[in-house]
Protein backbone atom coordinates (compact mmCIF):
# COMPACT_ATOMS: atom_id res chain seq x y z
CA UNK A 1 0.00 0.00 0.00
CA UNK A 2 1.35 3.42 -0.77
CA UNK A 3 1.80 6.05 1.92
CA UNK A 4 -1.43 7.98 2.63
CA UNK A 5 -1.22 11.69 1.93
CA UNK A 6 -2.09 14.37 4.46
CA UNK A 7 -3.59 17.83 4.07
CA UNK A 8 -1.13 20.74 3.93
CA UNK A 9 -0.06 21.89 7.40
CA UNK A 10 -2.27 24.67 8.72
CA UNK A 11 -5.02 23.88 6.19
CA UNK A 12 -7.92 22.03 7.77
CA UNK A 13 -10.51 19.57 6.58
CA UNK A 14 -13.93 20.50 7.90
CA UNK A 15 -15.71 17.18 8.37
CA UNK A 16 -19.53 16.79 8.19
CA UNK A 17 -20.34 17.21 11.92
CA UNK A 18 -18.29 20.39 11.93
CA UNK A 19 -19.37 21.53 8.45
CA UNK A 20 -23.02 21.41 9.53
CA UNK A 21 -22.21 23.94 12.23
CA UNK A 22 -20.42 26.07 9.62
CA UNK A 23 -23.42 26.01 7.31
CA UNK A 24 -25.83 26.89 10.10
CA UNK A 25 -23.55 29.76 11.07
CA UNK A 26 -23.28 30.92 7.45
CA UNK A 27 -27.09 30.90 7.11
CA UNK A 28 -27.41 33.14 10.18
CA UNK A 29 -24.69 35.42 8.91
CA UNK A 30 -26.23 35.79 5.46
CA UNK A 31 -29.60 36.79 6.96
CA UNK A 32 -27.85 39.26 9.22
CA UNK A 33 -25.90 40.86 6.34
CA UNK A 34 -29.03 41.12 4.22
CA UNK A 35 -30.88 42.80 7.06
CA UNK A 36 -28.39 45.68 6.73
CA UNK A 37 -28.66 45.81 2.95
CA UNK A 38 -25.29 44.21 2.15
CA UNK A 39 -25.09 42.27 -1.13
CA UNK A 40 -22.82 39.34 -1.95
CA UNK A 41 -19.74 39.56 -4.12
CA UNK A 42 -17.52 36.62 -5.12
CA UNK A 43 -14.03 37.32 -6.37
CA UNK A 44 -11.32 34.86 -7.46
CA UNK A 45 -9.10 33.14 -4.89
CA UNK A 46 -6.06 34.06 -6.99
CA UNK A 47 -5.20 37.66 -7.84
CA UNK A 48 -2.21 39.43 -9.42
CA UNK A 49 0.49 39.79 -6.74
CA UNK A 50 0.87 43.59 -7.28
CA UNK A 51 -2.73 44.05 -6.08
CA UNK A 52 -1.84 42.99 -2.56
CA UNK A 53 1.57 44.65 -2.56
CA UNK A 54 0.00 47.96 -3.45
CA UNK A 55 -3.09 47.68 -1.27
CA UNK A 56 -1.73 46.10 1.89
CA UNK A 57 1.70 47.77 1.77
CA UNK A 58 5.19 46.39 1.20
CA UNK A 59 6.31 46.75 4.81
CA UNK A 60 3.61 44.66 6.49
CA UNK A 61 3.60 41.15 7.96
CA UNK A 62 1.34 39.91 5.20
CA UNK A 63 3.37 41.14 2.24
CA UNK A 64 6.79 40.60 3.81
CA UNK A 65 6.33 37.03 4.91
CA UNK A 66 2.83 35.59 4.72
CA UNK A 67 1.74 35.51 1.08
CA UNK A 68 1.49 32.36 -1.02
CA UNK A 69 2.88 33.81 -4.22
CA UNK A 70 3.93 31.94 -7.32
CA UNK A 71 4.62 32.40 -10.98
CA UNK A 72 2.05 31.02 -13.37
CA UNK A 73 3.99 28.17 -14.99
CA UNK A 74 2.42 28.88 -18.37
CA UNK A 75 2.81 32.63 -18.79
CA UNK A 76 5.04 33.76 -15.93
CA UNK A 77 2.40 36.03 -14.37
CA UNK A 78 2.99 36.81 -10.68
CA UNK A 79 0.00 35.49 -8.75
CA UNK A 80 -0.98 35.26 -5.07
CA UNK A 81 -3.58 33.30 -3.12
CA UNK A 82 -5.62 36.07 -1.54
CA UNK A 83 -4.51 36.80 2.06
CA UNK A 84 -7.56 39.03 2.56
CA UNK A 85 -10.44 40.22 0.40
CA UNK A 86 -10.75 44.00 0.72
CA UNK A 87 -8.23 44.58 -2.05
CA UNK A 88 -10.10 42.12 -4.29
CA UNK A 89 -13.46 43.82 -3.64
CA UNK A 90 -12.02 47.22 -4.47
CA UNK A 91 -10.32 45.85 -7.60
CA UNK A 92 -13.63 44.34 -8.73
CA UNK A 93 -15.59 47.52 -7.94
CA UNK A 94 -13.18 49.57 -10.07
CA UNK A 95 -12.97 47.04 -12.89
CA UNK A 96 -16.76 46.79 -13.21
CA UNK A 97 -17.42 50.49 -12.57
CA UNK A 98 -19.68 49.57 -9.69
CA UNK A 99 -19.38 52.94 -7.98
CA UNK A 100 -20.77 54.93 -10.91
CA UNK A 101 -24.24 54.31 -9.57
CA UNK A 102 -23.41 55.42 -6.03
CA UNK A 103 -22.26 53.72 -2.85
CA UNK A 104 -22.18 49.93 -2.62
CA UNK A 105 -22.62 47.77 0.46
CA UNK A 106 -20.90 44.45 -0.28
CA UNK A 107 -20.09 41.29 1.64
CA UNK A 108 -17.94 38.27 0.93
CA UNK A 109 -17.09 35.04 2.63
CA UNK A 110 -14.50 32.42 1.90
CA UNK A 111 -10.99 31.11 2.43
CA UNK A 112 -7.92 33.34 2.81
CA UNK A 113 -4.31 32.17 2.78
CA UNK A 114 -1.39 33.31 4.91
CA UNK A 115 1.86 31.49 5.54
CA UNK A 116 1.88 31.82 9.33
CA UNK A 117 2.99 29.47 12.10
CA UNK A 118 -0.10 27.31 12.65
CA UNK A 119 -1.51 27.33 16.19
CA UNK A 120 -4.92 27.49 17.83
CA UNK A 121 -6.92 30.19 16.04
CA UNK A 122 -4.18 30.78 13.46
CA UNK A 123 -4.14 28.75 10.27
CA UNK A 124 -2.66 28.94 6.79
CA UNK A 125 -6.03 28.54 5.14
CA UNK A 126 -8.63 30.30 7.25
CA UNK A 127 -11.99 31.85 6.51
CA UNK A 128 -13.28 35.36 6.69
CA UNK A 129 -16.65 37.00 6.38
CA UNK A 130 -16.32 40.64 5.54
CA UNK A 131 -18.41 43.67 4.73
CA UNK A 132 -17.22 46.59 2.62
CA UNK A 133 -19.13 49.87 2.30
CA UNK A 134 -17.64 51.55 -0.77
CA UNK A 135 -18.35 55.21 -1.53
CA UNK A 136 -19.47 56.27 1.97
CA UNK A 137 -17.59 59.07 3.71
CA UNK A 138 -19.32 59.83 6.97
CA UNK A 139 -18.85 58.53 10.47
CA UNK A 140 -22.39 57.13 10.12
CA UNK A 141 -21.28 54.14 8.05
CA UNK A 142 -18.38 53.45 10.45
CA UNK A 143 -20.87 53.35 13.31
CA UNK A 144 -23.27 51.21 11.30
CA UNK A 145 -20.52 48.66 10.58
CA UNK A 146 -19.70 48.47 14.26
CA UNK A 147 -23.35 48.25 15.31
CA UNK A 148 -23.85 45.43 12.82
CA UNK A 149 -21.11 43.41 14.49
CA UNK A 150 -22.59 44.07 17.90
CA UNK A 151 -25.96 42.75 16.72
CA UNK A 152 -24.33 39.59 15.34
CA UNK A 153 -22.66 38.89 18.69
CA UNK A 154 -26.11 39.27 20.31
CA UNK A 155 -27.79 37.04 17.72
CA UNK A 156 -25.16 34.36 18.29
CA UNK A 157 -25.33 34.74 22.07
CA UNK A 158 -21.61 35.57 22.29
CA UNK A 159 -20.39 37.15 25.47
CA UNK A 160 -17.15 38.87 26.30
CA UNK A 161 -16.51 40.38 22.89
CA UNK A 162 -15.24 43.87 23.50
CA UNK A 163 -14.82 46.78 21.15
CA UNK A 164 -11.53 48.65 20.82
CA UNK A 165 -11.51 51.84 18.83
CA UNK A 166 -8.94 54.26 17.53
CA UNK A 167 -8.46 56.89 14.86
CA UNK A 168 -5.48 56.85 12.52
CA UNK A 169 -6.28 60.34 11.24
CA UNK A 170 -5.31 61.45 7.76
CA UNK A 171 -2.09 60.83 5.84
CA UNK A 172 -0.76 64.30 6.80
CA UNK A 173 -1.59 63.80 10.46
CA UNK A 174 0.12 60.45 10.43
CA UNK A 175 3.18 62.06 8.85
CA UNK A 176 3.53 64.56 11.68
CA UNK A 177 3.03 61.83 14.25
CA UNK A 178 5.52 59.65 12.41
CA UNK A 179 8.32 62.21 12.78
CA UNK A 180 7.78 62.37 16.54
CA UNK A 181 7.44 58.61 16.78
CA UNK A 182 10.75 58.03 15.00
CA UNK A 183 12.55 60.49 17.27
CA UNK A 184 11.06 58.75 20.29
CA UNK A 185 11.88 55.22 19.09
CA UNK A 186 15.42 56.24 18.15
CA UNK A 187 15.99 57.22 21.76
CA UNK A 188 15.25 53.58 22.63
CA UNK A 189 16.83 52.01 19.56
CA UNK A 190 19.15 49.72 21.50
CA UNK A 191 16.12 48.07 23.13
CA UNK A 192 14.18 47.44 19.89
CA UNK A 193 14.01 43.99 18.33
CA UNK A 194 15.13 43.21 14.80
CA UNK A 195 11.67 43.68 13.25
CA UNK A 196 11.19 47.02 14.96
CA UNK A 197 14.64 48.29 13.99
CA UNK A 198 14.00 47.35 10.37
CA UNK A 199 10.65 49.16 10.46
CA UNK A 200 11.89 52.20 12.33
CA UNK A 201 12.13 54.26 9.15
CA UNK A 202 10.08 52.19 6.72
CA UNK A 203 6.90 51.84 8.79
CA UNK A 204 7.29 52.98 12.42
CA UNK A 205 3.53 52.97 13.10
CA UNK A 206 3.57 49.21 12.67
CA UNK A 207 5.96 48.90 15.62
CA UNK A 208 3.10 49.99 17.89
CA UNK A 209 1.22 46.73 17.36
CA UNK A 210 4.24 44.54 18.03
CA UNK A 211 3.44 41.31 19.84
CA UNK A 212 6.90 41.19 21.48
CA UNK A 213 6.28 41.44 25.27
CA UNK A 214 9.67 43.08 25.81
CA UNK A 215 8.63 46.07 23.72
CA UNK A 216 5.31 46.69 25.43
CA UNK A 217 6.59 49.29 27.86
CA UNK A 218 8.31 51.31 25.15
CA UNK A 219 5.31 51.35 22.82
CA UNK A 220 2.95 52.08 25.67
CA UNK A 221 4.73 55.36 26.33
CA UNK A 222 5.14 56.30 22.64
CA UNK A 223 3.56 59.48 21.23
CA UNK A 224 -0.12 58.87 20.49
CA UNK A 225 -1.62 59.44 17.10
CA UNK A 226 -4.85 60.78 18.58
CA UNK A 227 -2.89 63.79 19.86
CA UNK A 228 -2.03 64.71 16.27
CA UNK A 229 -5.56 64.68 14.89
CA UNK A 230 -6.81 67.87 13.25
CA UNK A 231 -10.32 69.28 13.60
CA UNK A 232 -11.89 67.23 10.78
CA UNK A 233 -10.48 63.90 11.89
CA UNK A 234 -11.43 64.70 15.45
CA UNK A 235 -15.01 65.56 14.44
CA UNK A 236 -15.25 62.29 12.50
CA UNK A 237 -13.96 60.31 15.46
CA UNK A 238 -16.38 62.04 17.81
CA UNK A 239 -19.21 61.43 15.33
CA UNK A 240 -18.61 57.70 15.45
CA UNK A 241 -18.45 57.75 19.22
CA UNK A 242 -21.72 59.67 19.57
CA UNK A 243 -23.58 57.11 17.45
CA UNK A 244 -22.04 54.24 19.41
CA UNK A 245 -23.06 55.84 22.68
CA UNK A 246 -26.61 56.31 21.35
CA UNK A 247 -26.67 52.62 20.43
CA UNK A 248 -25.45 51.67 23.91
CA UNK A 249 -22.31 49.99 22.62
CA UNK A 250 -19.43 50.23 25.08
CA UNK A 251 -15.91 50.72 23.71
CA UNK A 252 -12.38 51.38 24.81
CA UNK A 253 -10.13 53.76 22.94
CA UNK A 254 -6.87 51.93 22.34
CA UNK A 255 -4.20 54.35 21.06
CA UNK A 256 -2.02 51.40 20.03
CA UNK A 257 -4.60 49.96 17.69
CA UNK A 258 -2.99 50.64 14.30
CA UNK A 259 -3.98 47.53 12.28
CA UNK A 260 -1.61 45.38 10.28
CA UNK A 261 -2.47 46.75 6.85
CA UNK A 262 -1.35 50.07 5.45
CA UNK A 263 -4.58 51.12 3.80
CA UNK A 264 -6.47 52.21 6.91
CA UNK A 265 -7.13 55.83 7.94
CA UNK A 266 -9.38 57.53 10.49
CA UNK A 267 -11.65 55.02 12.27
CA UNK A 268 -10.13 51.62 13.04
CA UNK A 269 -11.61 49.01 15.36
CA UNK A 270 -11.19 45.49 16.63
CA UNK A 271 -13.52 43.17 18.49
CA UNK A 272 -11.52 41.22 21.03
CA UNK A 273 -12.25 38.41 23.46
CA UNK A 274 -10.21 37.00 26.32
CA UNK A 275 -11.82 33.58 25.92
CA UNK A 276 -9.70 32.32 23.04
CA UNK A 277 -6.20 32.69 24.47
CA UNK A 278 -3.59 34.55 22.44
CA UNK A 279 -5.67 34.71 19.23
CA UNK A 280 -8.37 36.94 20.69
CA UNK A 281 -9.26 39.27 17.81
CA UNK A 282 -12.42 37.94 16.15
CA UNK A 283 -13.14 40.90 13.90
CA UNK A 284 -11.21 43.89 12.66
CA UNK A 285 -11.88 46.78 10.37
CA UNK A 286 -11.89 50.46 9.68
CA UNK A 287 -11.91 53.20 7.13
CA UNK A 288 -9.71 53.12 4.01
CA UNK A 289 -10.46 56.30 2.11
CA UNK A 290 -7.33 56.22 -0.07
CA UNK A 291 -7.48 52.64 -1.32
CA UNK A 292 -9.87 53.02 -4.25
CA UNK A 293 -7.78 55.80 -5.75
CA UNK A 294 -4.56 53.97 -4.97
CA UNK A 295 -5.79 50.99 -6.99
CA UNK A 296 -6.63 53.18 -9.98
CA UNK A 297 -10.26 54.12 -9.31
CA UNK A 298 -11.86 57.53 -9.12
CA UNK A 299 -11.25 58.75 -5.54
CA UNK A 300 -13.99 57.51 -3.20
CA UNK A 301 -14.11 56.88 0.54
CA UNK A 302 -14.80 53.45 2.02
CA UNK A 303 -14.90 51.40 5.21
CA UNK A 304 -15.28 47.75 6.13
CA UNK A 305 -14.42 44.86 8.41
CA UNK A 306 -13.41 41.21 8.27
CA UNK A 307 -14.13 38.55 10.85
CA UNK A 308 -12.27 35.30 11.38
CA UNK A 309 -14.76 32.45 11.06
CA UNK A 310 -12.64 29.83 12.87
CA UNK A 311 -12.22 32.10 15.89
CA UNK A 312 -15.88 33.11 15.92
CA UNK A 313 -17.02 29.50 15.71
CA UNK A 314 -14.73 28.52 18.56
CA UNK A 315 -16.32 31.26 20.62
CA UNK A 316 -19.83 30.38 19.49
CA UNK A 317 -19.36 26.74 20.45
CA UNK A 318 -18.14 27.84 23.86
CA UNK A 319 -21.35 29.82 24.30
CA UNK A 320 -23.48 26.80 23.40
CA UNK A 321 -23.84 27.39 19.65
CA UNK A 322 -24.63 24.25 17.71
CA UNK A 323 -26.39 22.97 14.64
CA UNK A 324 -29.16 20.44 14.30
CA UNK A 325 -27.68 17.31 12.83
CA UNK A 326 -29.37 16.98 9.41
CA UNK A 327 -31.76 14.00 9.63
CA UNK A 328 -33.74 12.41 6.80
CA UNK A 329 -37.51 12.15 7.22
CA UNK A 330 -37.70 8.77 5.53
CA UNK A 331 -35.38 5.82 4.86
CA UNK A 332 -36.44 3.55 1.99
CA UNK A 333 -35.74 -0.16 2.51
CA UNK A 334 -36.15 -2.54 -0.41
CA UNK A 335 -35.27 -6.10 -1.35
CA UNK A 336 -35.63 -7.49 -4.88
CA UNK A 337 -35.26 -6.00 -8.34
CA UNK A 338 -38.85 -4.86 -8.81
CA UNK A 339 -38.85 -3.52 -5.27
CA UNK A 340 -35.74 -1.48 -6.01
CA UNK A 341 -37.39 0.17 -9.01
CA UNK A 342 -40.45 0.97 -6.95
CA UNK A 343 -38.21 2.29 -4.16
CA UNK A 344 -36.64 4.83 -6.50
CA UNK A 345 -40.08 5.95 -7.69
CA UNK A 346 -41.36 6.27 -4.13
CA UNK A 347 -38.30 8.22 -2.96
CA UNK A 348 -38.45 10.67 -5.86
CA UNK A 349 -42.17 11.18 -5.34
CA UNK A 350 -41.60 11.99 -1.65
CA UNK A 351 -38.75 14.40 -2.46
CA UNK A 352 -41.12 16.10 -4.85
CA UNK A 353 -43.25 16.93 -1.82
CA UNK A 354 -40.23 18.32 0.01
CA UNK A 355 -39.36 15.39 2.25
CA UNK A 356 -35.72 14.43 2.89
CA UNK A 357 -35.32 10.82 1.82
CA UNK A 358 -32.45 8.33 2.03
CA UNK A 359 -32.82 5.40 -0.35
CA UNK A 360 -30.89 2.32 0.67
CA UNK A 361 -28.08 1.72 -1.81
CA UNK A 362 -26.10 -1.50 -2.02
CA UNK A 363 -27.35 -4.98 -1.18
CA UNK A 364 -28.59 -6.21 2.22
CA UNK A 365 -31.36 -8.19 3.90
CA UNK A 366 -34.42 -6.45 5.33
CA UNK A 367 -32.87 -6.87 8.77
CA UNK A 368 -29.57 -5.22 7.93
CA UNK A 369 -31.31 -2.44 5.98
CA UNK A 370 -33.64 -1.74 8.92
CA UNK A 371 -30.56 -1.36 11.12
CA UNK A 372 -29.20 1.23 8.71
CA UNK A 373 -32.61 2.96 8.67
CA UNK A 374 -32.53 3.16 12.47
CA UNK A 375 -28.97 4.49 12.50
CA UNK A 376 -29.87 7.16 9.94
CA UNK A 377 -32.08 8.94 12.55
CA UNK A 378 -34.95 8.97 10.06
CA UNK A 379 -38.47 9.16 11.53
CA UNK A 380 -40.01 6.66 9.14
CA UNK A 381 -39.07 3.67 7.01
CA UNK A 382 -40.75 2.85 3.75
CA UNK A 383 -40.48 -0.91 3.29
CA UNK A 384 -40.77 -2.53 -0.12
CA UNK A 385 -40.42 -6.24 -0.96
CA UNK A 386 -41.63 -8.40 -3.81
CA UNK A 387 -45.16 -8.54 -2.38
CA UNK A 388 -45.40 -4.78 -2.14
CA UNK A 389 -43.95 -4.34 -5.61
CA UNK A 390 -46.60 -6.68 -6.94
CA UNK A 391 -49.52 -5.09 -5.07
CA UNK A 392 -48.48 -1.45 -5.54
CA UNK A 393 -48.72 -0.90 -1.79
CA UNK A 394 -45.70 -0.11 0.39
CA UNK A 395 -45.09 -0.57 4.10
CA UNK A 396 -44.74 2.59 6.20
CA UNK A 397 -43.11 2.00 9.57
CA UNK A 398 -42.45 4.52 12.32
CA UNK A 399 -38.86 4.18 13.54
CA UNK A 400 -39.20 6.16 16.76
CA UNK A 401 -41.96 6.35 19.32
CA UNK A 402 -45.27 4.52 19.14
CA UNK A 403 -47.18 3.58 15.97
CA UNK A 404 -47.41 0.46 13.89
CA UNK A 405 -46.52 -0.42 10.32
CA UNK A 406 -49.29 0.31 7.85
CA UNK A 407 -49.80 -0.46 4.17
CA UNK A 408 -50.17 2.53 1.87
CA UNK A 409 -50.79 2.84 -1.87
CA UNK A 410 -47.89 4.56 -3.61
CA UNK A 411 -49.97 7.55 -4.69
CA UNK A 412 -51.13 8.12 -1.11
CA UNK A 413 -47.63 7.78 0.37
CA UNK A 414 -46.79 11.47 0.65
CA UNK A 415 -50.04 12.17 2.55
CA UNK A 416 -49.42 9.24 4.87
CA UNK A 417 -45.84 10.37 5.55
CA UNK A 418 -47.04 13.91 6.24
CA UNK A 419 -49.72 12.59 8.62
CA UNK A 420 -47.15 10.53 10.56
CA UNK A 421 -44.60 13.35 10.79
CA UNK A 422 -47.26 15.91 11.70
CA UNK A 423 -48.83 13.66 14.35
CA UNK A 424 -45.38 13.26 15.84
CA UNK A 425 -44.86 17.01 15.98
CA UNK A 426 -48.18 17.43 17.75
CA UNK A 427 -47.04 14.88 20.33
CA UNK A 428 -43.87 16.82 20.89
CA UNK A 429 -45.27 20.34 21.06
CA UNK A 430 -48.78 19.59 22.37
CA UNK A 431 -51.82 19.54 20.06
CA UNK A 432 -52.65 22.75 18.25
P1 LIG B 1 -3.53 38.94 13.85
O2 LIG B 1 -3.04 40.17 14.54
O3 LIG B 1 -4.25 37.98 14.75
O4 LIG B 1 -2.50 38.29 12.97
P5 LIG B 1 -4.51 40.39 11.57
O6 LIG B 1 -4.46 41.81 11.96
O7 LIG B 1 -3.43 39.82 10.73
O8 LIG B 1 -4.70 39.46 12.87
P9 LIG B 1 -6.74 40.84 9.80
O10 LIG B 1 -5.90 40.88 8.59
O11 LIG B 1 -7.28 42.07 10.36
O12 LIG B 1 -5.93 40.04 10.93
O13 LIG B 1 -7.91 39.79 9.58
C14 LIG B 1 -9.19 39.93 10.21
C15 LIG B 1 -9.51 38.74 11.07
O16 LIG B 1 -9.24 37.51 10.40
C17 LIG B 1 -8.66 38.63 12.32
O18 LIG B 1 -9.17 39.46 13.33
C19 LIG B 1 -8.82 37.17 12.69
O20 LIG B 1 -10.05 36.94 13.35
C21 LIG B 1 -8.84 36.52 11.33
N22 LIG B 1 -7.50 35.99 10.98
C23 LIG B 1 -6.44 36.67 10.49
N24 LIG B 1 -5.41 35.84 10.24
C25 LIG B 1 -5.84 34.59 10.59
C26 LIG B 1 -5.26 33.29 10.57
N27 LIG B 1 -4.02 33.09 10.11
N28 LIG B 1 -5.99 32.24 11.00
C29 LIG B 1 -7.26 32.41 11.46
N30 LIG B 1 -7.87 33.61 11.50
C31 LIG B 1 -7.17 34.69 11.08
MG1 LIG C 1 -1.75 38.61 11.09
- Does residue 155 fall inside a structural domain? yes
Radius of gyration of the chain (CA): 28
| 272 assigned to some structural domain | yes
In a domain, 262, yes or no: yes
Same-domain check for residues 32 and 160: yes
Q: Say yes or no: CB of residue 281 within 6 Å of ligand 1.
A: yes
Which of 378, 276, 400 lies closest to 329, judged by CA? 378
Question: In this structure, are 263 and 360 located in the same domain?
Answer: no
Q: pLDDT value at position 153? A: 96
CA of 260 from ligand 2 middle (Å) equals 7
**Quick one: which H or E segment has residue 47?**
strand 46-48
Question: Is 365 among the domain residues?
Answer: yes
DSSP string, 107-129: EEEEEEE-----BTTB-SEEEEE
Chain segment 213-240, per-residue pLDDT in tens = 999 999 989 999 989 999 999 999 999 9
Ligand 1: which of 67, 108, 126 to mutate, most ligand atoms within 8 Å of CB?
Answer: 126
Both 310 and 362 in one domain: the answer is no
Nearest CA to ligand 1 atom 8: 281
User: How confident is the model over 78-87, as a mean pLDDT?
Assistant: 98
Q: In this model, does residue 192 exceed pLDDT 80?
A: yes
Q: How far apart are CA 409 and CA 396, in angstroms?
A: 10
Q: What is the pLDDT of residues 269-309, one digit of tens each?
A: 999 998 888 889 999 999 999 999 999 999 999 999 999 99
What is d(CA 138, CA 105) in angstroms, rounded to the nearest whole number? 14
Q: Are residues 143 and 266 in the same domain?
A: yes
CATH of the domain at 408: 3.40.50.800
- 312, 334: one domain: no
Q: Residue 114 Cα, ligand 2 centroid: separation in angstroms? A: 8
pLDDT exceeds cutoff 50 at 129: yes
- Answer whether residue 11 is part of any domain: no
Q: At which of 318, 347, 374 does a domain end?
A: 318
pLDDT at 201: 87
Same domain, 378 and 303: no
Q: Do 112 and 151 belong together in one domain?
A: yes
Give yes or no: residues 301 and 364 share one domain: no
Q: Is residue 208 part of a domain?
A: no
Question: Which one of 117, 161, 284, 313 would you pick to mutate in the ligand 1 pocket, going by the greatest count of ligand atoms within 8 A of its CB?
Answer: 284
Domains in the chain: how many in total?
2
Would you say residue 402 has pLDDT above 90?
no
Same domain, residue pair 61 and 156: yes
Provide the pLDDT for residue 322. 78
Tell me the per-residue pLDDT of 43-58, one tens digit each, with 9 for 90 and over. Answer: 999 999 999 999 998 8
Residues 236 and 372 in one domain: no
Residue 132, domain CATH: 3.30.930.10
Cβ 218 under 6 angstroms from ligand 1? no
What is the mean predicted confidence (pLDDT) over 31-36?
97
- 260 ligand 1 Cβ < 6 A: yes
The answer, yes or no, to whether residue 432 has pLDDT greater than 50, is: no
Distance in Å, CA 223 to ligand 2 centroid: 24
Q: Which of 318, 339, 365 is the last residue of a domain?
A: 318
Distances (CA, A) of 41 to 113, 333, 355: 18, 43, 32
Cα of 367 vs centre of ligand 1, distance in Å, is: 52
Predicted local confidence at residue 424, as pLDDT = 64
Ligand 1 lined by 114 (C-beta under 6 Å): yes
For 326-360, how does the pLDDT look when each residue is reduced to its tens digit (9 = 90+)? 899 999 999 999 999 999 999 999 999 999 999 99
Per-residue pLDDT reduced to its tens digit, 199-210: 888 888 888 888
Residue 302 Cβ inside 6 Å of ligand 1? The answer reads no
**Residue 128 Cβ contacting ligand 1 at under 6 Å:** yes
Q: Is the CB of 122 under 6 A from ligand 1?
A: yes
The residue whose C-alpha atom lies closest to atom 5 belonging to ligand 1 is 260
Predicted confidence at residue 311, as pLDDT, reads 96
Q: Is residue 151 in some structural domain?
A: yes
Pocket test for ligand 1, best of 128, 132, 280 (most atoms within 8 A of CB): 128
The answer to whether residue 254 is domain-embedded is yes
**pTM for the model:** 0.89
pLDDT at 427: 62
| Residue-number span of the structural domain to which 238 is assigned | 16-169+229-318
Which of 318, 346, 381 terminates a domain? The answer is 318
Closest atom, ligand 1, to C-alpha of 279: 3
Say yes or no: 312 and 345 in one domain: no
Q: How far does residue 278's CA lie from ligand 1's centre (Å)?
A: 12
Residue 268 has pLDDT above 60, yes or no: yes
Which residues 6+ apart lie within 8 Å of 32 measured at CB? 148, 151, 152, 155
Claim to verify: residue 126 and residue 31 sit in the same structural domain: yes
* pLDDT tens string 100-114: 989 999 999 999 999
Amino acid sequence: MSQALQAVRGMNDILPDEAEIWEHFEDLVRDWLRSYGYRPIRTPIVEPTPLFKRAIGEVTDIVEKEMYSFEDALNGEHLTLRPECTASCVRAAIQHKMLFSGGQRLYYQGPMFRHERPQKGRYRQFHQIGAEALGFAGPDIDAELIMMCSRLWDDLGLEDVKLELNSLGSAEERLRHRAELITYLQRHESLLDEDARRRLHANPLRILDTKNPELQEIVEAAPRLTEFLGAESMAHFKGVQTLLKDAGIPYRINPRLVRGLDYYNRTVFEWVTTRLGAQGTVCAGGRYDGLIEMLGGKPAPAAGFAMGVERLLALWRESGGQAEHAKPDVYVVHVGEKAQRMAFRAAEALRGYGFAVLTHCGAGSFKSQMKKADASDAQLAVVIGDDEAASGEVGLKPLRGPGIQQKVMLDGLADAVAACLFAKEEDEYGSV
